[in-house]
Amino acid sequence: MAKTNPALKIIPLGGLDGIGKNMTAFECGPDMVLVDAGLMFPDDEQPGIDLVLPDYTYVLENEEKLRGIIITHGHEDHTGALPYLLMDLTHKVPIFSSKLSLGFIEGKLSEFRIDAPKYREVSDGTHLNLGCFSIDFFSMTHSIPGALGVFIKTPQGTVLHTGDFKLDQTPIDGVTPDFHAINRFGTQGIDLLLSDSTNATRPGFTPSEAAVGAALRHIIKNATGRVFVASFSSHIHRLQQVCDASTAVGRKVVVTGRSMVTNTKIARELGYLKIANENIIDAYEVGDIPDDKIVVLCTGSQGEPLSALARMANGEHRSLSIEPTDTVIISATPVPGNEKSVQSIINSLSKIGCDIYDKSKALVHVSGHGSQEELKLMLAMTRPAFFMPVHGEAVHLRAHAQLARDMGMRDDHVFVCDNGDTLEMRGGKVRLGEPVDSGIVYVDGLRIGDADPVVLRDRQKLASDGIVTCVVTISSRTHKVDEIEISSRGVSFSNDDALISEAQSSLRASIDKKDILKGATTDQTRKAVRNDLSNFLWNKTHTRPMVIPVVMEV
């Protein structure tokens, strides 16, 4: 009996439950390629967590099949998991991406002191073969140069992955989407389309990045003091426009913030950010330059507490401070979950009295993702037989799926998937396959792995209600309570000596009344102390701080 050809499996391991940690595996028999390896930043429900990664256990279990890692562009939500993945892989795997993306990746891996993998630069029109995969790259426009889409041919059919994109006709670097290639692939036949869904709920078209330049120049030209511009450090097109506007009105550009300094350096070395050496200076070189001759490029557009903008707003920056005569431009949109942090910085800046511009006040930011009309154009050009929306929260994926149905795609040809779901393609036909284990991995300091839900719950409790420590000393001679000491942190009654004294008396009486100590183990005594003190505090304060009982025998 003839052996059947293995199906092509499309396995999204991340990116379908939020904006971040994008990672998709393509597996066909003995071969596998990975598209993107990103991270996501934690939200308020994950206190103390540094980073959130996709669970790439499936990749590690099939490492011998992995022929290469393709990175569509250099943003952290597509590259940030690479250092952790590469540390877990037992052999070097080539990484394929554009020149700028590889530059950012190389800088990131050097921070982790990871031996350089095999870097393979690709660009618009590059073709390569990885096992049974025949791969073509085509240029796309996004909020970073060097963004690429991927067309994949396999024995079982074809897949087009757009990467992050918008259809910008006037990009800053002049590199437009390769419409010719996209239409050519559509004519050849695309069995499955994976398309960016970030702005699937937004009608119309996303404005061109070039539209921001005029607004930036107007604000910078008319500012009386220094101008501080907070942006993503990887948004090289935006940084270029700030540099162009600054030099056009005779201002020097100051760069501050670790990632901003690193990324501008890499982008300049690779030729993506163009500004003369005499027009860009370090924060320590400001010296006697007049305020109306300075523009400061800084990190902090997402309200990060340790960013340059946050430290300047709070008067904690080592070399720069913001004065009432200055102007601050927040040239970004808060990532979902960061709204409160951004508003907190805006409030701090408002107290200083400086002028503040964000996208609600002027056109200082446009999205890097296509809106509904662009997503429909992509569907029209590619004419896929099957469709899976990617890169978004549930509301975005479902909105994008509805756009496809509105354009005439059959409902059973549109797949709204979760991370770990598997699509199987045979002879160009796609169906749901067996899911694989998936989830999230937390980076918590030096520890990488699953976070115990109890730990996160305890951190949330500590943040909301504080902690009370109760030390009960028992006499080994009388087997009675000798002393009770109660201390607290982060509670509203920490200085209420009368309440603490009442709690001690109540706890002592409760222990004696219940005769808890007779025949009880230390663990049983601790549990009783915790319950009694917790109930007392609830009755008196209507708060439930974490109670840590310590039982000692002397």
More confident residue, 146 or 305: 146
> Which residues contact residue 230 at a Cβ distance below 8 angstroms, ignoring those fewer than 6 apart?
298, 299, 300, 301, 307, 308, 309, 328, 329, 330, 331, 332
The reported pLDDT for the residue numbered 208 is 95
For β-strands 423-426 and 51-54, DSSP reports them as unpaired
Q: How far apart are CA 10 and CA 3, in angstroms?
A: 22
List the structure tokens of 323: 């004065």
CATH of 453-553, one of 3.30.70.100, 3.10.20.580, 3.40.50.920, 2.40.110.10: 3.10.20.580
The long-range contacts involving 262-268, CB below 8 angstroms and separated by at least 24 positions, are: 262/107, 262/233, 263/104, 263/107, 263/233, 263/234, 263/236, 264/233, 264/239, 264/297, 266/100, 266/103, 266/104, 266/107, 267/100, 267/103, 267/236, 267/239
The domain segmentation of the chain, as residue ranges, is: 8-204+367-449, 210-357, 453-553
Query: Which whole number is the average pLDDT over 543-552?
Result: 84
Please name the fold of domain 210-357.
Rossmann fold (3.40.50)
Q: Reduce the DSSP state of residue 50 to 3 states and report it.
A: coil
Q: What is d(CA 170, CA 365) in angstroms, rounded to the nearest whole number?
A: 15
Q: Residues 40-65: what's their mean pLDDT?
A: 80
The better pLDDT of the pair 47, 137 is held by: 137
pLDDT confidence of residue 46: 57
Spatial distance between the Cα atoms of 487 and 33, rounded to a whole number of angstroms: 56
> Does residue 366 sit in helix, strand or coil?
coil
Burial class (CB in 10 A: 0-12, 13-18, 19+), 503: buried
* C-alpha 508, offset from chain centre: 50
Annotated active-site positions, please? 196, 369
Q: How confident is the model at residue 491 (pLDDT cuts 50, 70, 90)?
A: confident
CATH code for the structural domain at 8-204+367-449: 3.60.15.10
Q: Which two tokens stand for residue 225?
A: 């003091």
Confidence of residue 542 (pLDDT cuts 50, 70, 90): confident
Q: Are 27 and 11 in contact (CB under 8 A)?
A: yes
Q: Is the per-residue pLDDT at 234 higher than 70? A: yes
- Average confidence (pLDDT) over 265-283: 93
Is the confidence at residue 181, as pLDDT, over 90?
yes
H/E stretch holding 481: strand 481-489
pLDDT tens, position by position, 9-44: 999 999 998 888 999 999 999 999 999 999 987 665
* Separation of alpha carbons 533 and 549, rounded Å: 9
Report pLDDT for 1.
37
Q: What is the 3-state secondary structure (H, E, C) of 86-152?
A: HHHCCCCCCEEECHHHHHHHHHHHHHCCCCCCCEEECCCCCEEEECCEEEEEEECECCCCCCEEEEE
The values of phi and psi at residue 88, to 5°, are: -90, -20
CA distance 437 to 314: 44
d(CA 508, CA 528): 12
What is the pLDDT, as a whole number, of residue 49?
64
pLDDT: which is higher, 529 or 516 = 529
The yes-or-no verdict on residue 272 having pLDDT over 80 is yes
Q: How far is the C-alpha of 100 from the C-alpha of 77, rounded, in Å?
A: 16
* Candidate from 3-17, 241-255, 290-304, 442-456 with smallest mean pLDDT: 442-456
Tokens for 56, please give them. Answer: 């790439």
pLDDT at 446: 47
Q: Percentage of residues in the chain with pLDDT exceeding 90? A: 66
Average pLDDT along the chain: 89
Q: What percent of the chain has pLDDT over 70?
A: 92
Query: Rounded to an integer, what distance in angstroms lies between the CA atom of residue 179 and that of residue 384?
Result: 16
Regarding beta strands 423-426 and 429-432, do their DSSP bridges make them parallel or antiparallel, or are they unpaired?
Answer: antiparallel
pLDDT for residue 47 is more than 70:
no
pLDDT of residue 419: 94
- Provide the β-strand partners of residue 229: 297, 329
Position 314 pLDDT exceeds 80: yes
pTM confidence score: 0.83
Q: Is the pLDDT of residue 470 over 70?
A: yes
pLDDT tens for each residue of 154-180: 999 999 999 999 999 999 999 999 999
| pLDDT tier for residue 518 given thresholds of 50, 70 and 90 | low
**What secondary structure does DSSP assign to 272-329, as a single string?**
SS---GGGEEEGGG-TT--GGGEEEEES-TT--TTSHHHHHHTT--SS----TT-EEE
Question: For 66-120, how does the pLDDT look when each residue is reduced to its tens digit (9 = 90+)?
Answer: 999 999 999 999 999 999 999 999 999 999 999 999 999 999 999 888 887 899 9
Distance, CA of 250 to CA of 103 (rounded, Å): 30
Q: Does residue 541 have a pLDDT over 70?
A: yes
What whole-number distance in Å separates Cα of residue 426 and Cα of residue 430?
7
